[in-house]
């Protein structure tokens, strides 16, 4: 270590070089440790029937380039320190910002997720290190730069290292997962050593860092990591007894509903015939046969009457069983299999009834029907566990598709990605739920970007709505003042001036400066002064005083006219007309009529039943329901029937601090409705609004399913 200076600190350049040396030494071998865990995961998938020849071939090529990749990665780590010194990067977001090709977008999104994971996992150590590096930069007489071994920088190093590698989309999440695990193994020791080095060099107080992990057998450690990605999904999940009881109740209600169906007696008579029940593996084989076939029958059923999807599934399975040699005259489905089929059919129908899924989404969902039948036949947890991988994927797909008319490139990308994922599920799902987990992770990365756009859209909608409310309030206040001024007769030009440019100027002053401000008081004083000048002109006896009054008002009148968009020449012409009118004491004077209120055209185009000209006091509503509406909070989800009768999921995005009205937006962040608590109560009483909707689409669809069964059983 360099000698301490007078300040008690070591030479900052030498300290930075030592940090760089330690970092390159500990991080340099990370890329070479990625291939074995990923290869194990791919082979494990192959042994379970999920062949991955393309990914294995790509991994082999990457392994052959291992030396070059390690060197490139070490250069990226070292480059971080060079950038820190030369200040080429000035922000804490260390991921490189540039336009990327479409096929690289998922790669960069995965890198951002990786950075977030590292940042969360090592937050205390990184916070301490960032503060100490800032002090080091200060000692170097530089402004603070990005942490050269921070979370974003390490994610960026991985992206730059593998930027030109031929890596299939399915291989990317496995590589990122392995990289995250390798970093987790190294970073605890690295961050502790760097923090201790900076503290001992005088750039921060020493802290007790986390203890390094005890030495472990490297192969065993990596073998554990190799299982993480798949085993987390495959691990048996304990079902809460209460949830199991609810599922049993669901099946009871399903049986009661089935008894109400036409032809139920005939079906019971058929089941009473001596026919063998299909074994689980037999029906699974039938589903496997049908899974890759055209989904047209389900696409049509999704647009039909309730019960059509389950009917189509059952008919399709009977036909498939016949093709595999199972004569339907001698075989039948078991009660559990019938329940699974009905529940899947009702689940998909509920999704289309509960969410604004457009016609172009039907084929996508129709393609998923058979894979979800296979899931339900083997795993009842689909209907009771919110974290079930297949259920989470269906949530993500519905979030991406609801109300998505593919009107923008981003929306089209979501639809195309969902379509590709549905095709992959059909091709790859063979009773291994890891397929759903990987597909969900891929779509979730894209949805995160979509959600950030939605948040911006919501903020814009809230800002626009608040602006409209402030404008309406300012116009109301201006009209009240104008009504007071128009209580006495005045010349026509004075009345026109007050009703047009002065009224507009008063509204702008209220918006920009607020009531009670200096400019607001000056604007009100201008209106009173004009009336006083008109009174003087009416007498005709105080011409000198009138002239002085008009001269004193010239600047204020000019400024008032300018706020209406008039240039100097037009403003002077309008001012001259006003002066000429006041110079004539015998000019006719009348009490002017109040100008018509300005109509908010945007509000007028919305559903007329939601907007009441007489205010909300006349709305017929239940006070208790209105009180419940007033307790709504931003972020709560509701179900709304739009004027066309289409069910839409809406969220409370914002509550006006001025009027207390609620801004409701859809999943794309677009405004659906702005209404008061009493208007929402009236909608709820009319059956057009449901409070307390579930955020996850499958949760809401299953609740809708249960309501349907309960009503039928009752």
Q: What is the pLDDT of residues 530-586, one digit of tens each?
A: 888 888 777 765 667 777 777 788 788 888 888 877 777 777 777 787 777 777 767
pLDDT at residue 268 greater than cutoff 80? no
Sheet holding 671-675, edge to edge: 671-675, 662-665, 647-655, 637-641, 689-691
Q: Which residue has the higher pLDDT, 217 or 9?
A: 9
Residue 395: the pLDDT is 92
Same domain for 505 and 386: no
Same domain for 139 and 285: no
* Average pLDDT for the chain: 79
Average pLDDT over residues 413-434: 88
Same domain for 122 and 35: yes
Q: Is residue 24 part of a domain?
A: yes
Among 359, 440, 398, 411, smallest CA distance to 649 is for 398
Q: Is residue 469 part of a domain?
A: no
Helix or strand (DSSP H, E) at 627: helix 623-630
Which residue, of 234, 255, 278, is where some domain finishes?
234
Residue 637: the pLDDT is 85
pLDDT category at 310 given cuts 50, 70, 90 is: very high
Residue 430: the pLDDT is 83
Which tokens in the block code for residue 154?
């390490």
Same domain for 112 and 217: yes
Residue 348: the pLDDT is 92
Residue 243: the pLDDT is 58
Residue 581: the pLDDT is 74
- pLDDT tens digits, residue range 406-418? 888 888 889 989 9
Same domain for 192 and 248: no
Average pLDDT over residues 477-501: 86
Residue 104: the pLDDT is 56
Q: Is residue 474 part of a domain?
A: no
Q: Is residue 297 part of a domain?
A: yes
Question: 71-75, 110-114, 316-320, 648-652 — which is least confidently predicted?
Answer: 110-114
Residue 342: the pLDDT is 92
Q: Which residue has the higher pLDDT, 241 or 434?
A: 434
Same domain for 154 and 170: yes
Average pLDDT over residues 207-228: 41
Same domain for 140 and 30: yes
Same domain for 405 and 257: yes
pLDDT category at 50 given cuts 50, 70, 90 is: low
- The single residue listed with the structure tokens 């049908």 is 290
Question: 48-52, 185-189, 469-473 — which is least confidently predicted?
Answer: 48-52
Average pLDDT over residues 84-98: 50
Residue 304: the pLDDT is 79
- The single residue listed with the structure tokens 């290190």 is 129
Residue 31: the pLDDT is 87
pLDDT at residue 130 greater than cutoff 80? yes
Residue 51: the pLDDT is 65
pLDDT at residue 240 greater than cutoff 70? no
pLDDT category at 345 given cuts 50, 70, 90 is: very high
pLDDT category at 251 given cuts 50, 70, 90 is: confident
Within 10 A of 121 (CB to CB), how many other CB atoms are there? 16
Residue 316: the pLDDT is 92
Same domain for 551 and 658: no
Residue 314: the pLDDT is 92
pLDDT at residue 317 greater than cutoff 90? yes
Residue 88: the pLDDT is 45
Same domain for 180 and 98: yes
Question: 32-36, 473-477, 587-591 — which is least confidently predicted?
Answer: 587-591
Residue 260: the pLDDT is 74
Average pLDDT over residues 124-134: 88
pLDDT at residue 392 greater than cutoff 60? yes
pLDDT above 90 covers a percentage of the chain that reads: 11
Residue 337: the pLDDT is 92
Which residue, of 214, 234, 254, is where some domain finishes?
234
As a whole number of angstroms, the distance between CA 682 and CA 127 comes to: 51
Residue 541: the pLDDT is 59
Q: Which residue has the higher pLDDT, 420 or 50?
A: 420
Q: Which residue has the higher pLDDT, 265 or 62?
A: 62
pLDDT at residue 84 greater than cutoff 50? yes
pLDDT at residue 390 greater than cutoff 90? yes
Residue 356: the pLDDT is 73
As a whole number of angstroms, the distance between CA 1 and CA 198 comes to: 11
Q: How far is CA 560 from CA 286, 425, 485, in A?
A: 81, 67, 17
Q: Is residue 505 part of a domain?
A: yes
Q: Is residue 596 part of a domain?
A: no
Sign of CA dihedral 168, 174, 177, 178: negative
Q: How far is CA 646 from CA 460, 611, 635, in A?
A: 25, 19, 22
As a whole number of angstroms, the distance between CA 475 and CA 560 comes to: 16
Q: Is residue 598 part of a domain?
A: no
Which residue, of 590, 615, 648, is where some domain finishes?
590
pLDDT category at 485 given cuts 50, 70, 90 is: confident
Residue 166: the pLDDT is 76
Same domain for 547 and 528: yes
Q: Is residue 464 part of a domain?
A: no
pLDDT above 70 covers a percentage of the chain that reads: 82
Same domain for 290 and 203: no
pLDDT at residue 266 greater than cutoff 60? no
Q: How many domains does the chain have?
A: 4
Residue 48: the pLDDT is 60
Query: With 0-12 CB in 10 A as exposed, 13-18 as middle and 19+ as buried, what is 621?
Result: buried
Residue 145: the pLDDT is 78
Within 10 A of 515 (CB to CB), how many other CB atoms are there? 12
Residue 360: the pLDDT is 77
As a whole number of angstroms, the distance between CA 523 and CA 531 comes to: 13
pLDDT at residue 95 greater than cutoff 50? no
Q: How far is CA 556 from CA 261, 496, 508, 526, 527, in A?
A: 80, 17, 15, 7, 10
Question: 200-209, 485-494, 501-510 — which is least confidently predicted?
Answer: 200-209
Query: Which of 244-247's residues contact partners 24+ apart within 8 Å by CB, and which partners?
Result: 244/384, 246/384, 247/380, 247/383, 247/384
Question: 5-9, 34-38, 462-466, 616-620 — which is least confidently predicted?
Answer: 5-9
As a whole number of angstroms, the distance between CA 97 and CA 95 comes to: 6
Please give the model's pTM, rounded to 2 decimal places.
0.56
pLDDT at residue 295 greater than cutoff 60? yes
Residue 313: the pLDDT is 94
Structural domain span for residue 68:
12-234
- pLDDT tens digits, residue range 156-167? 888 888 887 778
């Amino acid at each position: 270590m360099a000698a301490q200076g007078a300040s008690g600190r070591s030479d900052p350049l030498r300290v930075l070089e030592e940090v760089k040396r330690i970092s390159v030494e500990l991080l340099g071998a990370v890329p070479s440790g990625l291939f074995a865990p990923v290869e194990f995961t791919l082979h494990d998938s192959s042994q379970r029937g999920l062949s991955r020849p393309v990914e294995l071939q790509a991994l082999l090529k990457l392994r052959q380039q291992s030396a070059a990749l390690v060197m490139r990665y070490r250069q990226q780590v070292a480059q971080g320190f060079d950038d820190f010194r030369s200040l080429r990067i000035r922000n804490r977001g260390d991921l490189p910002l540039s336009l990327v090709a479409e096929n690289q977008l998922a790669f960069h999104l995965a890198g951002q997720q990786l950075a977030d994971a590292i940042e969360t996992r090592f937050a205390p150590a990184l916070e301490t290190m960032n503060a100490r590096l800032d002090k080091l930069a200060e000692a170097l007489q530089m402004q603070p730069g990005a942490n050269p071994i921070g979370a974003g920088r390490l994610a960026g190093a991985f992206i730059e290292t593998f930027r030109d590698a031929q890596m299939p989309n399915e291989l990317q999440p496995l590589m990122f997962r392995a990289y995250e695990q390798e970093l987790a193994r190294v970073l605890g020791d690295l961050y502790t050593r760097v923090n201790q080095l900076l503290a001992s060099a005088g750039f921060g107080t020493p802290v007790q860092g986390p203890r390094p992990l005890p030495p472990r057998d490297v192969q065993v450690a990596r073998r554990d990591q190799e299982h993480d990605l798949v085993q987390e999904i495959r691990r048996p999940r304990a079902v809460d007894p209460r949830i199991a009881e609810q599922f049993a109740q669901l099946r009871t209600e399903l049986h009661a509903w089935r008894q109400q169906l036409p032809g139920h007696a005939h079906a019971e008579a058929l089941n009473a015939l001596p026919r063998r029940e299909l074994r689980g593996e037999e029906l699974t084989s039938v589903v496997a046969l049908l899974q890759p076939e055209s989904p047209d029958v389900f696409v049509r059923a999704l647009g039909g009457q309730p019960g059509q999807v389950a009917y189509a599934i059952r008919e399709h399975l009977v036909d498939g069983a016949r093709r595999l040699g199972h004569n339907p005259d001698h075989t039948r489905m078991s009660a559990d299999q019938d329940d699974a089929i009905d529940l899947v059919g009702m689940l998909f129908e509920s999704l289309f009834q509960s969410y604004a899924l457009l016609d172009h989404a039907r084929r996508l969902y129709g393609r998923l029907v058979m894979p979800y039948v296979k899931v339900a036949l083997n795993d009842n947890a689909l209907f009771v566990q919110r974290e079930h991988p297949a259920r989470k994927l269906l949530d993500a797909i519905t979030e991406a598709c609801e109300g998505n008319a593919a009107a923008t490139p981003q929306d089209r990308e979501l639809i195309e990605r969902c379509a590709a994922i549905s095709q992959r599920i059909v091709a790859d799902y063979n009773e291994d739920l890891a397929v759903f987990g990987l597909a969900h992770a891929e779509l979730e990365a894209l949805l995160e970007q979509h959600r950030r756009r939605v948040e911006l859209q919501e903020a814009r909608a809230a800002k626009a709505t608040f602006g409209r409310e402030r404008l309406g309030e300012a116009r109301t206040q201006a009209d009240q003042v104008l009504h007071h001024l128009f209580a006495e007769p005045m010349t026509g030009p004075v009345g026109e001036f007050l009703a047009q440019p002065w009224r507009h100027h008063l509204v702008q002053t209220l918006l920009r400066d607020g009531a009670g401000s200096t400019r607001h008081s000056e604007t009100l004083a201008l209106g009173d002064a004009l009336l006083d000048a008109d009174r003087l002109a009416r007498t005709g006896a105080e011409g000198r005083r009138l002239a002085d009054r008009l001269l004193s008002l010239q600047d204020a009148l000019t400024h008032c006219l300018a706020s209406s968009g008039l240039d100097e020449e037009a403003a002077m012409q309008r001012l001259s007309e006003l002066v000429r009118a006041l110079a004539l004491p015998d000019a006719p004077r009348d009490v002017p009529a109040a100008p018509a209120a300005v109509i908010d055209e945007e509000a007028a185009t919305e559903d007329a039943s939601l907007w009441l000209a007489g205010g909300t006091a006349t709305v017929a509503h239940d006070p208790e329901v209105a009180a419940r509406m007033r307790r709504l909070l931003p972020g709560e989800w509701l179900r709304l029937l739009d004027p066309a009768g289409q069910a839409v999921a809406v969220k409370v995005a914002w509550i006006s601090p001025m009027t207390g009205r609620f801004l409701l937006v859809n999943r794309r962040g677009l405004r659906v409705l702005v209404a008061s608590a009493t208007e929402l109560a009236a909608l709820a009483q009319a059956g057009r609004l449901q409070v307390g909707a579930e955020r996850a689409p499958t949760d809401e669809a299953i609740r809708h399913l249960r309501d349907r069964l309960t009503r039928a059983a009752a």
